[in-house]
């Protein structure tokens, strides 16, 4: 993280919230004071505020609405504490943004508080998701996010997965798609996300994967999906 603010954007189902949680935990476990803001006021499902207890136990400040992160009450209201995310206090601030152009539009509200070059904004791409399987599908979305938010993307995260069914071929194909997205947008690939179970195999095929390897845990996966 090159700056104190990192916006995480991407399609619904891209894995952006899962990545945002894992990234915030990575920062905190590296010793940095860390906060995460749930700015998703569009999609009522799988939002980072749902894991507030887990994050707070790790010492991560969680900010979302004015209702103490109560995700069962769905109101499009943002906490005034979000202003603190745009003050350089040395804290690492991860901001999980709503998953489409409408969600990204929320960032325009804070545009005047964000200095050019003072933030990172990463696009999470899942090439297994309908509507983002090719570079040609991802490019218009990326440009719309930038236009609606008034901010520039600074990197791309390759996160092609099928949840617990992710295979090595998914990750490799996702790397190819993201490589082309990065080439056409002139952006770096920051990370290639992989399940911890595939980390060793990813390391063996390191030259085929863009960015730094990022092993991930599925915190957002509902427990009932693992019941037999």
pLDDT in tens, the chain (228 residues): 568 999 999 998 899 999 999 999 999 999 999 999 988 766 655 678 888 889 999 999 999 865 555 555 555 667 778 888 988 888 999 999 977 777 778 887 787 888 777 899 999 999 999 999 999 999 999 999 999 898 999 999 999 999 899 999 999 999 999 999 999 999 999 999 999 999 999 999 999 999 999 999 999 876 655 554
**CB within 8 Å of 167: residues ≥ 6 apart:** 198
- Helix locations, the chain, DSSP H: 16-29, 52-57, 101-105, 135-149, 168-185, 199-204
Which is nearest to 120 in space by CA: 66, 191, 62, 67? 191
C-alpha to C-alpha distance for 164 and 196, rounded to whole angstroms: 11
Rg of the chain, C-alpha, whole Å: 17
According to DSSP, residue 196 is labeled: G
Domain span holding position 126: 5-226
C-alpha to C-alpha distance for 114 and 15, rounded to whole angstroms: 25
135-149 helix and 168-185 helix, angle to the nearest 10 degrees: 50
Res 3: pLDDT: 80
φ, ψ for residue 216, nearest 5 deg: -130, 150
Res 141: pLDDT: 94
The SS3 call for residue 157 is strand
Please tell me the total count of domains within the chain.
Answer: 1
Which parts of the chain are beta strand (E)?
5-10, 34-39, 61-63, 92-97, 119-125, 155-158, 189-195, 212-216
C-alpha to C-alpha distance for 36 and 62, rounded to whole angstroms: 5
Res 83: pLDDT: 83
C-alpha to C-alpha distance for 215 and 195, rounded to whole angstroms: 5
Res 109: pLDDT: 79
CATH of the domain at 11: 3.40.50.300
Res 225: pLDDT: 55
């Amino acid at each position: 993280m090159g700056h104190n603010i990192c916006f995480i954007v991407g399609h619904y189902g891209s894995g952006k919230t899962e990545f945002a949680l894992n990234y915030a935990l990575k920062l905190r476990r590296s010793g940095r004071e860390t906060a995460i803001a749930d700015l998703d006021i569009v999609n009522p499902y799988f939002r980072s505020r749902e894991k507030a207890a887990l994050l707070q136990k790790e010492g991560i400040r969680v900010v979302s609405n004015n209702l103490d992160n109560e995700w069962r009450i769905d109101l499009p209201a943002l906490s005034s504490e979000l202003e603190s995310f745009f003050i350089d206090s040395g804290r690492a601030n991860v901001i999980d943004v709503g998953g489409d152009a409408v969600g990204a539009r929320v960032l325009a509200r804070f545009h005047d508080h964000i200095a050019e070059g003072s933030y990172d904004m990463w696009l999470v791409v899942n090439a297994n998701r309908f509507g983002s399987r090719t570079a040609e599908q991802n490019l218009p979305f990326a440009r719309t996010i930038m236009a609606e938010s008034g901010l520039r993307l600074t990197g791309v995260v390759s996160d092609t997965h099928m949840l617990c069914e992710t295979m090595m071929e998914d990750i490799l194909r996702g790397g190819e798609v993201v490589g082309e997205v990065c080439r056409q947008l002139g952006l770096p690939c920051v990370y290639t996300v992989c399940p911890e179970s595939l980390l060793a195999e990813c390391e063996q095929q390191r030259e085929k994967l863009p960015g730094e390897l990022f092993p991930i845990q599925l915190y957002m996966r509902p427990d009932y999906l693992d019941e037999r």
